[in-house]
Chains A and B, each alone.
Chain A
Amino acid sequence: MVVRGPISFLGDVDPRTGELRDGTGRSVAGRILVFESGRGSTVGSYVIYALAENGVAPKAMIVLRAEPIIVTGCVLAGIPLVDRVPKQILETTRDGDLIEVDAYRGEVIVHQG
């Protein structure tokens, strides 16, 4: 699932369902979430943790820039996180594409279509 801008997990994501509050009705639950970066509230880490506790967390996150809020949330929730990927990923990847992630090696493979 691709979100082309930054995400404030507090506010932009429903911690109980994983639904994005962007009017599309999409949910991050069980998806590999590709987005620009975090923004907004420092409470976002708790929202990421709550997503995991509620069983609706993304499988992995891929961001252009990691920042403390997202990193803390992913560490506590045990969600693999890869940062510093090329910017084009936001343009070329579509919802539903198959993505392979190896967060230990920082590898991301996108299978388009």
Chain B
Amino acid sequence: MYLTREEERILDGEEGEAESLALRVLVKVGEALGAERLVPVVHAHASGISYSNIGEPGLRFIEHLARMGGKVRVYATVNPIGMDSEYWPSMGVDSGFAEKQLRVLRALRDMGFELALTCTPYYLRRPKLGEHLAWGESSAVAYANTVYGARTNREGGPLALMAALVGRTYLAGMHLDENRRPTLLVDASWAGVGSATEAGLLGGLLGELVGEGVPYIVGVPRWREGWVKELCAAAGALGSLAMCLIEGVSPEAPKFRAELSGLERVQVEPRDLESVKEKLSGGGEPDLLYLGCPHASLEELRELARLLEGRGRVRREFWVGVSRTVFLEALREGLVEKLRSHGIKVWKDTCPVVAPLRGAGFRTVGTNSVKTAFYMPRMHGIGALVMGLEEMVEYAFRE
């Protein structure tokens, strides 16, 4: 790999031990993926900071980098953790776990990471067209490439962390024009995508269908922000999609319109979405309902509040997950209080995928998130039911 003089200096340890290690790993990973040089990034986002997921080895790794004096060189944020950093005792998280989790956070803070603790870093800093990023968190990666036309690979958690320390990543994959071209035309005209849940099912289908290509999606007349978010999250969980081109959404989509006739074409039917739903759904009646994977936006909280209008307290556990930024906004708007008055628990900084839920006593999670449904049985041995938000609310009041 070609390195600039500054990068050579970093590699030689003149900018610090942690930076040298980081650059060595970046070069090795980049060479394996065919990169010829590195590229500066404007924002790094590190996934894999939940102690529940990375355990002792991950904690030691992150503390090691901090002890070596690693400092971020660019705007750098981090993913959710295994608990609400403030209200964790009422989540049923034990103090031993909390202590380990807080050690991860201290190490990250010492290195200069902004403790955003969210899988939606795009709500904190909106990426710009053509910008290079080094993001972990598969859902955010797909969202950044698809919605903003920013450029990031699906960086492994530790790699995004190291990219933050040197302000660079390897130039390959989604950073290059040639890998951002459509590889498949997806006609969803008859799929009947009319909710975030259905968009998620379409995403799950594409994740399984497309492998590493870039699907060009046509036929959905109106997209809402939350729908694209669910589509991207599902595609990144069930598959390894880093990007979609969506007509009417993606800034890079129009320039490929003339080439679409030459692409292989797939027509999506309602039964295709139904089969994804059936495959992911297993378990009895939900005893936990969850909204907020990826973390809910203010708009989604308002929608839930509207659905609860005129109703009493929920009869089942109902959790909502948000970033602390959205939490504060929701607090100002009176939304948190409103949801709590219905018996809904609003958590920030965390979500069911990264929290230590195994053994918490839940049998089945009902959720509008295809991604959550994919991970629940695998991570926690908990069943899942994919459903729309209205359906979740109906369940919440059932005897």
- Residues of A whose CB lies within 8 Å of any CB of B are 6, 8, 10-12, 15-16, 21, 37-47, 49-50, 52-54, 65-73, 75-76, 81, 83
B236 at the interface (CB under 8 A from A): yes
Q: In the complex, what residue of chain B is closest to A73 when comparing beta carbons?
A: B156
B211–A37 touching, CB < 8 Å = yes
B32–A66 touching, CB < 8 Å = yes
B158–A46 touching, CB < 8 Å = yes
B87 at the interface (CB under 8 A from A): no
Residues of A within 8 A of B57 (CB): 15, 46, 49-50, 52-54
B48–A46 touching, CB < 8 Å = yes
Q: In the complex, what residue of chain B is closest to A69 when comparing beta carbons?
A: B156
Contact of A15 among B55, B159, B160, B378 (CB under 8 A): B55
Residues of A within 8 A of B160 (CB): 42
Question: How far does the Cβ of B121 sit from chain A's closest Cβ, in whole Å?
Answer: 13
B47 at the interface (CB under 8 A from A): yes
Residues of A within 8 A of B236 (CB): 40
B207 at the interface (CB under 8 A from A): yes
Residues of B within 8 A of A42 (CB): 47-48, 136-138, 141, 154-157, 160
Are A8 and B237 CB-contacts (below 8 A) given A45-B157, A69-B154? yes
B297 at the interface (CB under 8 A from A): no
B157–A68 touching, CB < 8 Å = no
User: Which residues of chain B from 274 to 306 have any CB-CB distance to chain A below 8 Å in the complex?
Assistant: none
B157–A75 touching, CB < 8 Å = no
- Residues of B whose CB lies within 8 Å of any CB of A are 25, 28-29, 32-33, 47-48, 50, 53-58, 60-61, 136-138, 141, 153-160, 173, 207, 211-212, 236-240, 374-375, 378-379
Contact of A72 among B29, B56, B58, B379 (CB under 8 A): B29
State the CA gap A46–B58 with chains docked (Å): 6
Residues of A within 8 A of B141 (CB): 42
Residues of B within 8 A of A8 (CB): 237, 378
Question: How far does the Cβ of B108 sit from chain A's closest Cβ, in whole Å?
Answer: 14
Residue in A42, A47, A75 whose Cβ sees the most chain B Cβ within 10 Å: A42
Contact of B157 among A43, A52, A66, A67 (CB under 8 A): A43
Residues of A within 8 A of B33 (CB): 66-68, 71
Are A72 and B138 CB-contacts (below 8 A) given A12-B378, A43-B53, A45-B48? no
Q: In the complex, what residue of chain A is closest to B140 when comparing beta carbons?
A: A42
Q: In the complex, what residue of chain A is closest to B47 when comparing beta carbons?
A: A42
State the CA gap A81–B157 with chains docked (Å): 19
Question: How far does the Cβ of B180 sit from chain A's closest Cβ, in whole Å?
Answer: 16
Residues of B within 8 A of A41 (CB): 47, 138, 237, 375
State the CA gap A72–B137 with chains docked (Å): 14
Residues of A within 8 A of B29 (CB): 68, 71-72, 75
Residues of B within 8 A of A40 (CB): 138, 236-240, 374
Residues of A within 8 A of B28 (CB): 75
Question: How far does the Cβ of A80 sit from chain B's closest Cβ, in whole Å?
Answer: 11
A72–B154 touching, CB < 8 Å = no
A76–B158 touching, CB < 8 Å = yes
Q: Pick 30 A–B contacts, CB within 8 A, sort by A.
A: A10-B375, A11-B375, A15-B55, A21-B378, A37-B212, A39-B207, A40-B138, A40-B240, A41-B47, A41-B138, A41-B375, A42-B48, A42-B136, A42-B154, A42-B160, A46-B48, A46-B57, A46-B61, A49-B61, A50-B54, A50-B57, A65-B211, A67-B240, A68-B33, A68-B153, A69-B154, A71-B29, A71-B33, A73-B156, A83-B32
A43–B32 touching, CB < 8 Å = no
Q: In the complex, what residue of chain A is closest to B32 when comparing beta carbons?
A: A71
A50–B378 touching, CB < 8 Å = no
Question: How far does the Cβ of B161 sit from chain A's closest Cβ, in whole Å?
Answer: 10
Q: In the complex, what residue of chain B is closest to A49 when comparing beta carbons?
A: B57
B240–A72 touching, CB < 8 Å = no
Residues of B within 8 A of A43 (CB): 47-48, 50, 53-54, 136, 156-157
State the CA gap A52–B61 with chains docked (Å): 13
B378–A6 touching, CB < 8 Å = no
Question: How far does the Cβ of B131 sit from chain A's closest Cβ, in whole Å?
Answer: 18
Residue in B55, B57, B141 whose Cβ sees the most chain A Cβ within 10 Å: B57
State the CA gap A76–B173 with chains docked (Å): 20
A11–B48 touching, CB < 8 Å = no
Residues of A within 8 A of B48 (CB): 42-43, 45-46
Contact of B173 among A68, A72, A73 (CB under 8 A): A68
Residue in B25, B237, B240 whose Cβ sees the most chain A Cβ within 10 Å: B240
Question: How far does the Cβ of A92 sit from chain B's closest Cβ, in whole Å?
Answer: 21
State the CA gap A47–B375 with chains docked (Å): 15
Question: How far does the Cβ of B350 sit from chain A's closest Cβ, in whole Å?
Answer: 14
Question: How far does the Cβ of B21 sit from chain A's closest Cβ, in whole Å?
Answer: 10
Contact of A37 among B47, B155, B238, B240 (CB under 8 A): B240
